[in-house]
Amino acid sequence: MAVSSPNICGTLALCHQNTNRQLHHPTKLQFQTGHLRLKLVATDIHQSASRNQTTWLRALSRTNEPLSPTVSELGKQTQMIDEEEEEDYYEDEEGWQNEGQPGRKLADSWREISGKDDWTGLLDPMDLLLRSELIRYGELAQACYDGFDYDPFSKYCGTCRYPRRKFFSSLGMESHGYDVTRYLYATSNINLPNFFKKSRWPKVWSKNANWIGYVAVSNDETSARLGRRDIAIAWRGTVTRLEWIADLMDFLRPISSEKIPCPDPTVKVESGFLDLYTDKEASCRFCTFSAREQILTEIKRLVELYGGEELSITITGHSLGSALAILSAYDIAETGLSIKSSGRVVPVTVFSYSGPRVGNERFKERLERLGVSVLRVVNVHDVVPKSPGLFFNEKVSPMLMKFAKHSPWSYCHVGVELALDHMNSPFLKPTKDPGCAHNLEAHLHLLDGYHGTGSKFVLSSGRDPALVNKASDFLKDHYLVPPNWRQDENKGMIRNLDGRWVQPERSKLDEHPDDMHHWLVKLGFLSH
């Protein structure tokens, strides 16, 4: 069949449409125009041994003429083919959802999902309930980003944009079934300038504080579904900016040096994480109490309030927030706040996303002895989980670790790792951008499509892939989802009664509860 050169790509596309997509044997269609011969090879996507398992095109020439322009045009025309094939990566209602254990309920399995047996047998293949919970807690961490005011031209930069009692409803997350009981703040005086955000205006809400997360409790309806009352702590991290890694002192110091109880002085954590967790600023009404004091007093109050119910404490965070999640989980367990007055132990679980190493090997051993369960979700292309401890970490030989374990630069990951690979998703660009590899929404997308080692990537929950580009440029362009698309209308500006555009005033910012002194006394932090 001869075709004119201008129409060759259209003819190829038409012929491919008339070819059965699910071919049982490779089929070759040849076209010739002038000195150029093109061969279209359609390979059965279900039998292909290639990693992406997609139909591919091959252009051949018997001359020395450059093929780049023709192949480029051919690629544009085959975009439609890629889109059709990627429909195979969406789950249908009769697929994975009906596999596994029909009728299995979270209320009956929540202890296993929370790491009672270190998630043995639940990760490969991926357990459906566990996947759902990992996405749900990841969304609680993502809410910290979506609710944070990053705008340096806002006088509220560094705060949460929504009132505590309207936090989830403002984000469209009412269905999660949690009520925020407390906002968390940290002083920005420590050396992590790429983590803290400050307004450029001279008159601001605080010169020393940043909002870094929240504590929430499941409501009655959600508690019935979960099988227990869940106390959730979510820590804010960094969306895509990775400069904060360079700000780390990369220096271990004893966790007991900041009055965190520990019987072993060789248990050490990274110095910057410890400062962020324990520092306070007496002159700032938001940082009068450290993040540590804010967390422990609220957990003490809630465990006593719901002491008669089945309870769990679940802590989640992404990036730097993951480090704070692990550190606060250790603190809650070490101080005994996870033990009810009846003597029953409340399970403490951390779901970490793209988190760095936090402490040394002795810290890992102490955390395990306290019974804290940690599941770390990582992207194998992300640099953050490989830091700090670039040279001395859990992956080096035991002999070398034995030699270096007492050094101030010897780190060790804690818990169980679930390693994902964004190259397995047909929706994402094969980019090496470290910010994309670190993105939390991308991690949740990868969780949605992961079914086990060697399994085909298939989205299972109906979660919209467009969320990946909320704060990144990671989706393939033909989805027509603009990068970094999430933003406030008119950057938050509104028209007042005079017709002028102004920044609206916000309701009074949450500070600290009036009974802080009472709970600090009960914790033994203060005398009467």
pLDDT surpasses 50 at 330:
yes
Partners of 90 in beta bridges: 459
Nearest in space to 317 (alpha carbons), one of 171, 127, 458, 144: 144
The first and second tokens of residue 415, run together, are: 């818990």
- pLDDT for 155 equals 85
CB 174 within 8 A of CB 161: no
How confident is the prediction for the chain on average, in pLDDT?
A: 81
Ordered by start, the domain boundaries in the chain are: 132-420+497-523
Per-residue pLDDT band for 116 (boundaries 50, 70, 90) equals very high
Whether omega for the bond prior to residue 125 falls within 30 degrees of 0, making it cis, is: yes
pLDDT surpasses 90 at 334:
yes
Average pLDDT over every residue of 139-159: 92
Q: What is the pTM of this model?
A: 0.81
Cα dihedral across residues 137, 139, 145, 148: positive or negative: negative
Q: What confidence tens digit (pLDDT) does each residue in 398-457 have?
A: 777 777 777 778 899 999 999 999 999 999 999 989 999 999 999 999 999 999 999 999
Catalytic residues: 319, 382, 438
Q: What confidence tens digit (pLDDT) does each residue in 166-189 have?
A: 999 999 999 999 999 999 999 876
Spatial neighbors of 275 by CB under 8 A, at least 6 apart, are 190, 191
Average pLDDT over every residue of 497-515: 89
Question: In whole angstroms, how far apart are CA 373 and each of 134, 270, 273, 312, 440?
Answer: 14, 20, 20, 12, 21
Q: Which of 235-239, 290-294, 311-315 has the lowest mean pLDDT?
A: 235-239
**CATH architecture of the domain formed by 132-420+497-523:** 3-Layer(aba) Sandwich (3.40)
CA angle 129, 350, 302 (to 5 degrees): 100
- pLDDT for 89 equals 65
Q: Which helix (H) or strand (E) holds 75?
A: helix 68-77
- pLDDT for 312 equals 98
